[in-house]
Amino acid sequence: MTLKRALWIIPNISLHLLWIVCLIFVGWNWTAIHQEGFLSYWLFVLPSLLLVNVWGSYRITGWIQEGKL
């Protein structure tokens, strides 16, 4: 794996792990988040973060197939 490829893939994997951790956090603290009024915030952030992750993975895969990475 080249350095350039690693510099794109490692942050992408980290964002996927961040999404999983945030999902677990929201699952464990669902009632407290709902009582404090932040549930709508998390229900917006989680899908948004997932979409950014999937888009980044798709872009990196395309670059690898094109030979840019």
Q: What is the pLDDT of residue 10?
A: 95
DSSP labels, 18-34:
HHHHHHHHHHHTHHHHH
Q: What is the pLDDT of residue 5?
A: 87
Asked whether residue 1 carries a pLDDT value surpassing 90, the answer given is no
Annotated domain spans of the chain: 8-66
Q: Which residues contact 23 (CB under 8 A, 6 or more apart)?
A: 46
What sections of the chain are H helices per DSSP? Answer: 3-28, 30-36, 39-66
Q: Return the structure tokens found at 67.
A: 């030979």
Q: What is the pLDDT of residue 16?
A: 97
Q: What is the mean pLDDT of the chain?
A: 94
Strand, helix or coil for residue 59: helix
Give the tens place of pLDDT for each residue, 26-53: 999 999 999 999 999 999 999 999 999 9
